[in-house]
Amino acid sequence: MVRDFKAEDKSKRVVTADGDAVGTVDMAAGSSAHIAPDEDLSRSIRRRLGWTEEGEETYRLDKSKVDSITDDEVRLKGNL
């Protein structure tokens, strides 16, 4: 089970299980974080993450979708 998000996670890269960039952690606390998506993030990945609203500056990411949090990145689960 992945740990809760911490303030220190701010600015970490968020990547898919395959290593594709999703965005950057903008704010983090507890069981969720807010992610600033990369401009070129595909609609397919957005849909799988539940980020269907266009034009938002940040989107919520629940830790249930996270496989691991390292010193450098937040890696999403493989089923996303």
In this structure, the strands spanning 73-76 and 13-15 are parallel
47-57 tens-digit pLDDT: 999 998 888 99
Question: What pLDDT sits at residue 4?
Answer: 97
What is the value of pTM for the model shown? 0.92
Question: What pLDDT sits at residue 19?
Answer: 94
CATH number corresponding to 7-76: 2.30.30.240
Long-range contacts of 51-59 (CB under 8 A, 24+ apart): 57/26, 58/26, 58/27, 58/34, 59/23, 59/34, 59/35
- List Cα–Cα distances, 34 to 39, 48, 54, in angstroms: 15, 16, 15
Question: What pLDDT sits at residue 54?
Answer: 83
Task: Look at residue 24 and tell me whether its pLDDT is greater than 90.
Answer: yes
What is the rounded average pLDDT for all residues in the chain?
94
